[in-house]
């Protein structure tokens, strides 16, 4: 690909990612579909408590930390030779191309997950577990706000009411109280940190086929070099006729177990961040699991757009 066309393509890609994130943030200011509820619903009666992760800390760990790690690894840390990554990027230009591809994948993951979660949150309007403490319902006048239910024969409070029953004057807090599904923290945490895990697995050969001998590395490099404008991080899966030769009696490669910490730390952090949304009563359990699934899928999508399969 000509340098000019490559530059234009990269600029367009980044503009699409930025536009998608901007639209997603604008969607978060739209009033969600505020679902009706019952003031006796125990699943909405949890108390409000301070979150374990403030928004600035969450952004730092889920977005800035993967961003800085990818930049540091791409520019300063040579990778481990594997079938799809036979030699580390050489030269400043090559490293910058590799870095750009990795950051584009992260951008795709975060942008896609953000637009999905904000759209679904607005469509579902599901109340949070601590919604009633946010709402502060007017229990003396529930009849005025009743919209359905047949439990009035048992209790005048055992009915469905609309949001007008709430005495909460902070409209932003009330609007956020209807955004439980899916968990935004879980979605973004997995979109950023799971992508980082996949990137580190690729870069250091965790879970991939390593090349242990100089002959293997030289052969993989020669095959990979036959593809025009190919980059180690962007190399496509080798063609069926270009399989690397391996001797039948070659000894198994000893894998350094400590490298497992590289993918496990970001993944563990993503799980912990997601878990706090459940035991801080910010999201229901299913909402957290749904967010984790969305973030994992978008992370995989962003990774595979710019990297070969780890197991292919």
Judged by average pLDDT, the poorest of 5-9, 196-200, 243-247 is 243-247
Q: By mean pLDDT, which of 43-57, 69-83, 272-286 is the weakest? A: 69-83
**Gap between the Cα atoms of 261 and 244, Å rounded:** 29
**pLDDT band, residue 30 (cuts 50/70/90):** confident
Residue the block writes with tokens 């699934």: 293
Kindly state the average pLDDT of the residues 63-76: 94
- Distance between first and last Cα of the chain: 25
- Region 39-62 average pLDDT: 94
Distance CA 101, CA 308 (A): 12
Beta carbons within 8 Å of 235's beta carbon, 6+ residues apart = 84, 85, 224, 227, 308
Q: Is the peptide bond before 182 cis (omega within 30 degrees of 0)?
A: yes
Tell me what the mean pLDDT of segment 31-38 comes to: 91
The per-residue pLDDT for 254 is 63
| pLDDT (mean) for 104-131 | 95
- pLDDT > 70? residue 1: no
pLDDT of residue 250: 53
Compute the distance between CA of residue 138 and CA of residue 61 in angstroms, rounded to an integer.
Answer: 39
In the predicted model, what is the mean pLDDT of the chain?
83
Q: Provide mean pLDDT across the span 96-103.
A: 92
Region 84-111 average pLDDT: 83
High-pLDDT (> 90) share of the chain, %: 57
Domain map of the chain by residue range?
52-127+178-235+256-306
On the question of pLDDT at 41 being above 70, the answer is yes
Percentage of the residues of the chain whose pLDDT score is greater than 70: 79
Between 285-306 and 92-124, two packed helices, what is the crossing angle to 10 degrees? 150
Q: What number of CA atoms fall less than 13 Å from residue 158's CA on the CB side? A: 6
User: pLDDT by residue (tens digit) across 214-269?
Assistant: 444 444 444 344 334 444 444 443 344 444 444 444 555 566 777 778 889 999 99
Q: What pLDDT band is residue 70 in, cutting at 50, 70 and 90?
A: very high
Q: Tell me: pLDDT of 8 over 90.
A: no
Summarize pLDDT for 137-179 with one digit per residue, the tens: 999 999 999 998 887 778 888 999 999 999 999 999 999 999 9
Query: What is residue 76's predicted lDDT score, i.e. its pLDDT?
Result: 85
pLDDT at 69 over 70: yes
Q: What is the pTM of this model?
A: 0.82
pLDDT at 257: 74
Per-residue pLDDT at 205: 80
């Amino acid at each position: 690909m000509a340098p000019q066309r490559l530059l234009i393509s990269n600029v367009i890609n980044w503009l699409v990612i930025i536009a998608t994130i901007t639209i997603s943030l604008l969607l978060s200011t739209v009033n969600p579909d505020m679902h009706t509820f019952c003031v006796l619903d125990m699943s909405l009666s949890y108390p409000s408590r301070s979150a374990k992760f403030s928004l600035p800390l969450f952004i730092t760990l889920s977005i800035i930390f993967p961003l800085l790690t990818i930049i540091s690894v791409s520019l300063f840390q040579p990778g481990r030779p594997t079938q799809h990554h036979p030699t580390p990027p050489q030269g400043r230009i090559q490293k910058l191309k590799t870095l750009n591809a990795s950051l584009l994948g992260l951008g795709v993951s975060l942008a896609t997950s953000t637009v999905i979660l904000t759209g679904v949150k607005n469509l579902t309007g599901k109340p949070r577990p601590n919604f009633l403490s946010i709402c502060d319902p007017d229990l003396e006048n529930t009849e005025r706000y009743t919209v359905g239910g047949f439990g009035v024969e048992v209790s005048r409070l055992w009915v469905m009411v609309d949001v007008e029953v709430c005495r909460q004057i902070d409209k932003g807090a009330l609007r956020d109280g209807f955004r439980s599904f899916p968990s935004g923290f879980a979605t973004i945490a997995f979109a950023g940190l799971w992508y980082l895990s996949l990137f580190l697995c690729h870069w250091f050969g965790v879970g991939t086929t390593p090349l242990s001998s100089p002959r293997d590395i030289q052969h993989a490099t020669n095959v990979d070099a036959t593809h025009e404008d190919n980059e180690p991080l962007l190399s496509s899966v080798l063609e069926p006729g270009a399989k690397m030769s391996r001797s039948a009696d070659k000894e198994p490669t000893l894998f350094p177990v400590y490298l497992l910490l590289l993918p496990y730390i970001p993944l563990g952090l993503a799980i912990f961040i997601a878990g706090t949304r459940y035991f801080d009563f910010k999201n229901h359990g299913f909402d957290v699991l749904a967010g984790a699934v969305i973030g994992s899928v978008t992370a995989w999508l962003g990774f595979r757009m710019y990297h070969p399969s780890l197991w292919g």
